[in-house]
Amino acid sequence: MSHHLPQEIIRHKRDGGVLAAEQIQSFIEGLTSGRVSEGQAASFAMAVFFRGLSVPERVALTRAMTQSGEVLKWDLPGPVLDKHSTGGVGDTVSLALGPAVAACGGYVPMISGRGLGHTGGTLDKLDSIPGYVSQPDIETFRRVTREVGCAIIGQTADLAPADKRLYSIRDVTATVESIDLITASILSKKLAAGLHGLVMDVKFGSGAFMDNTADARALAESLVLVANGAGLPTSALLTDMNESLASAAGNAVEVAYTADYLTGRRREARFHEVTVELSAEMLVLGKLAADISEARAKIEDAIASGKAAEIFQRMVVALGGPSDLLENHRKHLTAAPVVRPVHAERPGTVQSVSTREVGIAVVALGGGRTRPQDPVDHAVGLTELAGVGERVDGERPLGIVHARSEEAAEAAARAVRAAYMVGETSAPSGKLILERIGANA
């Protein structure tokens, strides 16, 4: 059994060998039970970082991490579907997509994360809704999914505990960027959720985790290959994060944005396109539509008819939130005391945006965190952010800052001005959805 000893597994990978599924399983079981030390887990992560894993090894790692805890089983009259985004700024898609897919007959049990660094987390957005229990017990999660059709919550129970342990070790050992480890981390949690279909929103651009398209494509291909290899039908879209996706970035401001979007008070084209495309992919994966054009039509109708809004409102109530949130969000969401527009130094057209800097401005306002234990101020953020190609002047600001104090507002205004390149030439926006990566790619 010596080849199952943690140090032998590490040595084998360090020297460029291919690990057997049983070796990977043994290592991950040891990680969960404590038989494998932190030092060994860190060495393993570094060996994988440098040597890489083949697709079968990635599948084995993902499966072992999935099996490290509870795996949900669903008995529902329709397919269980989900979407995962690699993270961005103003990426409020989940809040609209879950209800839209549920309106078309899918069941969406979405387990979302907290924000860290410059990317916002869906969980923090939900926590800005008064009364909303974002981390209910598993029974409540099951019941709301069954009765409403979607439940968007934070990580509960014991799903993929090996991932929690490995992630915290990767975080402090400079091994976060390994595509093999990112793939297993994301997918082990999704497989543990008992899904029938998953669509991945892999972002590229200045506000994305993978800023260049080659890295984003490599991650998308790995996710699609490994998920399908592990038995979960998955496709991925490469989407643009070279500017904030919604014109709002923060927590309560993004919930308010969702309320306006679902009720039809305001629908921005970029946000709508990404939401519809991802939702339509889910319907096709779940066999709720014969092809993508039928799926798009169904989603467009679910949003336009108000059915998605109604399901969102029912989900909020089922998880403890107010029954008139969509209609009266101003009554329920906390507002920042200091609200002021940020104007460009000179009029012109937005050429480009350093979206990461916009995200960091939100964190600096108190709307995000630099450490997992940091509290978040739900009221602060940015709204009315100008898009690439838009004209800004004395009337049209770069955006509106929502801050806790005058000092914070001033610092955010400086950061927003620095993040925007304004010039005289017209600037076309890049392609929003670069490509689709499917199982047969």
Q: Which of 159, 172, 238 is nearest to 205 (CA)?
A: 238
Tens-place pLDDT, residues 140-193: 999 999 999 999 998 765 788 899 899 889 888 989 889 999 999 999 999 999
- Which of 85, 92, 112, 206 is an active site residue? 85
Question: Can 128 be counted among the known catalytic residues?
Answer: no
66 in catalytic set: no
* Torsion sign, CA atoms 389, 390, 391, 394: negative
Mean pLDDT taken over the chain: 94
CATH superfamily of 2-52: Transferase, Pyrimidine Nucleoside Phosphorylase; Chain C (1.20.970.10)
Dihedral sign from CA coordinates of 275, 278, 282, 284: positive
211 a catalytic residue? no
How far CA 84 is from CA of 53, 88, 94, 158, in Å, comes to 22, 12, 8, 19
Rounded to whole angstroms, the Cα distance separating 244 from 60 reads: 36
The question of whether 190 is a catalytic residue gets the answer yes
Catalytic residue, candidates 13, 63, 84, 164: 84
Q: Is the pLDDT of residue 441 over 60?
A: no
Tell me, yes or no, if 2 is annotated catalytic.
no
Q: What confidence tens digit (pLDDT) does each residue in 271-290 have?
A: 999 999 999 999 999 999 99
The residue from 62, 122, 175, 349 that is catalytic is 122
Cα 167 to its chain centre, rounded Å, is 16
Please confirm, yes or no, whether 323 is among the known catalytic residues: no
Q: Whole-model pTM?
A: 0.95
CATH class, domain 81-328, is alpha beta
Annotated active-site residue in 13, 58, 190, 270: 190
**At CA 108, angle to CA 103 and CA 113, rounded to 5?**
130
Q: Exactly one of 114, 118, 142, 189 is catalytic; which is it?
A: 189
- Report pLDDT for 157: 56
Chain-centroid distance of CA 255 in Å reads 15
Active site residue 122: yes
Given a cut of 90, is residue 244 above it in pLDDT?
yes
Euclidean distance between CA atoms 391 and 43, whole angstroms: 52
Asked about 185 being catalytic, the answer comes back as yes
As a whole number, mean pLDDT of residues 349-355 equals: 97
Query: Active-site residue among 13, 114, 164, 170?
Result: 170
- Give the residue from 418, 369, 379, 405 showing the smallest Cα distance to 248: 379
Catalytic residue list contains 85: yes
Can you tell me the mean pLDDT for 230-243? 97
Residue burial 204-224, b: 16+ Cβ < 10 Å; e: rest? bbbbbbbbebebbbebbbbbb
Marked catalytic residue, from 32, 43, 62, 82: 82
Whether 81-328 shares its CATH topology with 335-423 is answered no
Evaluate if residue 389 carries a pLDDT over 70: yes
Q: pLDDT digit string (tens) for 323-336?
A: 999 999 999 999 99
For the chain, the domains span 2-52, 81-328, 335-423
Q: Which fold has domain 335-423?
A: Aldehyde Oxidoreductase; domain 3 (3.90.1170)
| Catalytically annotated residue among 175, 185, 258, 279 | 185
